[in-house]
Amino acid sequence: MAQIDEVKEILNTLRLFFSIGIGLVVVLTGSLIRKEEIQDIDLYFWVGSCIDFVLIIGLIFLIKAIKKNTKIIKDL
């Protein structure tokens, strides 16, 4: 497999993970907002908040990896 094909596959996989991550953040944030509206602040709310934060940080790293691989394709 040529190097450009390998980088394109990696880039497509990263984009897929980014899309899944965005979906998870949207669903989890919606659930947290609903729990907050009904004033059901419990352990699950705080665990969900921490998971949401970790997912957002992970998405930032995914964006950086996508940007790096896009530059690699441009250079090839």
Per residue in 40-59, pLDDT (tens digit) is 899 999 999 999 999 999 99
Q: Which residues are within 8 A (CB) of 42 and not within 5 positions of it... i.e. 6 or more apart?
A: 35
Q: Which residue do the tokens 């953040």 mark?
A: 25
Closest by Cα among 42, 48, 47 to 25: 48
Closest by Cα among 70, 52, 53 to 15: 70
pLDDT in tens, 11-47: 999 999 999 999 999 999 999 999 999 998 999 999 9
Q: Which residue has the higher pLDDT, 75 or 24?
A: 24
> Could you tell me the two tokens for 60?
């930032």
Closest by Cα among 61, 74, 64, 73 to 7: 73
* pLDDT score, position 74: 84
